[in-house]
Structure 1
Amino acid sequence: MENETVSLEAIVNNNLTGRDLQEFNRIYYGRRDHNELKLKDSSIAAAKEADFEIAAYGFPAKKEHTRPPRIVKVGLIQHSIAAPTDRPVNEQKNAILAKVKKIIDVAGQEGVNIICFHELWNMPFAFCTREKQPWCEFAESAEEGPTTRFLKELAVKYAMVIVSSILERDENHSDILWNTTVVISDTGNVIGKHRKNHIPRVGDFNESNYYMEGNTGHPVFATRYGKIAVNICFGRHHVLNWMMFGLNGAEIVFNPSCTVAGEAGSEYMWNIEARNAAITNCYYTAAINRVGYEEFPNEFTSADGKPAHKDLGLFYGSSYFCGPDGVRCPGLSRTKDGLLIAEMDLNLNRQIRDRRCYYMTQRLDMYADSLRKVLDLDYKPQVVHENEK
């Protein structure tokens, strides 16, 4: 990946200085100073040894008279796969677990309270191949599978809530598959799970070959550190999906994703969607994307008339946090594994809601009535023509 652009931040910092850089930061990120936090020397050394990027930023709120600050440290992990895709399934999975454990250990020593991985983090993104074997063998129980058992130990060790996106095999319902995120408590218990609401059917991302739309609604998980929700990957393109998590009380919404650059990719939208959701819904958002190229044993086509190929292109990382005021931090690299940490004051959510009044002015009654009419078979769009009486 030596020929790939490292990050947007690298382009900006290599070409802007002084007031120009401050003005770019103010206009693009929402503040001149990124409020970068100091990391432990041991964390920096461990990250260097394990070859992953690490960065931390603060999202403070104003002090209140009636509530103490609600400070929580949140971490995001983006990474590439760790073994070739032609190796045995368990070898591939165990290699990823071993790689990621080093990053979780650093997050633990930095005092991270909640951590989230990118979508389907413990396997290659094999759904582009449309092959069932061996990729379905990565599926496991959400509650008792080997990945969840592995994470339960780390959750207890570091008193950390862990948000883990896996391919779930529902053993109680005919062994069918789901794209599922498991939320593990700092006590080591599984609080619950959420299944992906919106399934893409776009070229290589026709994931309905493996699983269909989820049946868990829009759950918000009340953890020791705050109320969190998970908008899985393609759900970020659906504004009502984001909205429902907010209406159910989410304070932080994670968007674990697998998305690529290139013509069929969504990189130009990546920096917009989770940020828009944070602004509209007055909560924190966290966008996480995997990293690297993944080559598969057999060629596959993309239904676009182009030659068959063995990889999707670059998964471009670039994970980031955004606050309810729309202020965001720099993203991680496009090409490298990384741990991004945010120290956020959850009091900021209500402060922004009070200031901007979006919830007060959103007119749910009007939209609910309009949406009900749209679903009628004889619906007629509300269009007014020039000569219409």
Structure 2
Amino acid sequence: MAQENDSFTTVEKSLHEHLPAEEKSEVLRILYGKPSPPLTIPQSAIDLAQERNFELASYTLKSLAATEQTRLPRLVRIGAIQNQILLPTDKPVVEQREALFKRISDIIEVAAQCGCNIVCMQEAWNMPFAFCTREKYPWSEFAESAEDGPTTVMLQELAKKYNMVVLSSILERDESDVLWNTTVVISNTGRYLGKSRKNHIPRVGDFNESTYYMEGDTGHPVFDTQFGRIGINICYGRHHPLNWLMFGVNGAEIVFNPSATVGNLSEPMWGIEARNAAIANSYYTVPINRVGTETFKNEFTSGDGKPAHNDFGHFYGSTYVASPDGTRTPGLSRTLDGLLVTEVDLNLCRQVKDKWGFRMTQRLDMYAKELAEAVKPGYKPPVIKG
């Protein structure tokens, strides 16, 4: 598909190319925290990624955690996948879906070779991001059951084959034909474990998705898997600090943020929000964004007086992992399909809680009382005039 800004691939590449050598390490420390050393992965995985034409990046953050006397390290390898759609959006629904099934299966195979324990894809990975066109057909035909739809069934086989937890973000159709933006959680045994629905629906620019699917009703579930306790904060939910907070309150150690967002709208925020959430809530965050520019046959408008258009703009990728101490990995490309493999030690979550005391000092009782008053009709803020 068409791409924008394809000469500018990553911020990190520009920093490495243009920063003076004597300043580089200090600038990178301030911007990214402690170093993210490369993680050794099999040459066969590197060769296969090159053959299949996607970026493969790998880092280890395990040294961020101290060695404990009473607990063994809890090492987990996270795989985050960003991808473009493969076929023009006017191709038949089944053809588009099957092409993406093949693409993601190929990337997951490489993730397995890299030893990934958990893999997560971007928001609505198995379809064009058509919500914002406000056309219902054929796009509603991509919607499927979270429990036993074709996407879930396909990924269950891979999860079992590779002993890997898989998180799959889909457009869900429930038994009452209500649509939801949902991430399905599949255990490493291949069993359907559950789902988490998108809590916050964007109403900004082209991304006015409230005509398409309902606001989530699953709250903030945390899935206790063999490889850690996982939460999913879908796309626009990353702009809401309380959404991140509740996954932490419920005990998450890794919170994924499968997303689909474009450069002109949100790129300056991208490196901040998930990283801040990792710091504030003492868990790892994994923001994943799709790539490419998706073009649609029929024009649509944003309701902002600007001319009608056929695309939303450039989905800029830049997937990364942030740790509880504020360290983050470099991001994947802004333009290429990619797999980011990151090794972490989940013991760091508790170590950071002990060091900074955010959980002990966050005063949930005080905020619960004030928020309970703030949502009442006629609420008057305690503003003291001078």
Q: TM-score range by the shorter chain?
A: over 0.9
Local SS of the residue matching 2:132:
helix
Aligned residue for 1:316?
316
Listed as ranges, the matches of 1:267-346 within 5 Å are 267-346=267-346
Residue 24 of structure 2 corresponds to residue 21 of structure 1: yes
1:85 aligns with 2:89: yes
1:157 is aligned, of 146, 155, 161, to: 161
Identity %: 61
1:189 match:
191
Residue 248 of structure 1 aligns to which amino acid in structure 2? N
The letter of the residue matching 1:183 is V
> Could you tell which deviates more after superposition, 297-306 or 183-192?
297-306
Alignment of 1:1-389 (within 5 A): 1=3, 3-4=5-6, 5-31=8-34, 33-60=35-62, 61-171=65-175, 174-262=176-264, 265-386=265-386
Deviation digits for residues 82-126 of structure 1 (CA, Å, limit 9, x no counterpart): 111000000000111111111100001111000000000000000
Rounded to whole Å, the distance in 2 between the matches of 1:230 and 1:2 is 29
Distance 2:143 2:130 in 1: 12
Distance in 1 (CA, whole Å) between partners of 2:20 and 2:145 is 51
In the alignment, is the contact (CA less than 8 A) between 2:4 and 2:314 conserved in 1? no
**RMSD over equivalenced CA pairs, Å:** 0.9
For 1:312 and 1:14, how far apart are their aligned partners in 2? Answer: 31
CA contact (8 A) 2:300 2:308 kept: yes
Tell me the CA shift for residue 342 of structure 1.
Answer: 0.7
* CA drift at 1:375: 1.5
SS of aligned partner of 1:164: strand
Q: Gapped runs of 5+ residues in structure 1?
A: none
1:11 offset after TM fit, Å?
1.1
Deviates more, 1:6-15 or 1:344-353: 6-15
TM-score calculated relative to the size of structure 1: 0.97
Contact persistence 2:4–2:293 (CA under 8 A): no
Shift of 1:346: 0.2
Q: 1:245-277, CA deviations, whole angstroms, 9 ceiling, x for partnerless residues?
A: 001000000000000012xx1000000000000
Kept in 1, the 8 Å contact 2:263–2:315? The answer is yes
Distance 1:21 1:41 in 2: 29
Q: Secondary structure of 1:104's match?
A: helix
1:378 CA displacement: 2.3
CA 1:198–1:3: 2 relative to 1, 3 Å: closer
The superposition leaves residues 332-366 of structure 1 with CA deviations (integer Å, 9 ceiling, x where unpaired) of 00000000011000000000000000000011111
Q: 1:2 Cα deviation (Å)?
A: 6.9
Distance 1:245 1:319 in 2: 20
Deviations 1:21-67 (A, max 9, x none): 11121110002x32111221111111111110011111121100110
Q: Which moved more, 1:248-257 or 1:17-26?
A: 17-26
Q: Compute the TM-score of the two structures, normalised by the length of structure 2.
A: 0.97
Helix, strand or coil: the match of 2:360? Answer: coil
CA distance in 2, matches of 1:14, 1:87: 41
Deviation at 1:17, TM superposition (A): 4.6
- Distance in 2 (CA, whole Å) between partners of 1:21 and 1:339 is 26
Q: Which amino acid aligns with 1:122?
A: N
Whole-Å Cα distance in 2 between the matches of residues 2 and 282 of structure 1?
35
Q: Distance in 1 between matches of 2:279 and 2:191?
A: 32
Q: Provide closer, same or farther for how the CA distance between residues 154 and 297 of structure 1 changes in structure 2, counting only shifts above 3 A.
A: same
Q: What is the letter of the counterpart of residue 71 of structure 1?
A: L
C-alpha distance in 1 between matches for 2:287 and 2:314: 17
> How many residues were matched structurally?
381
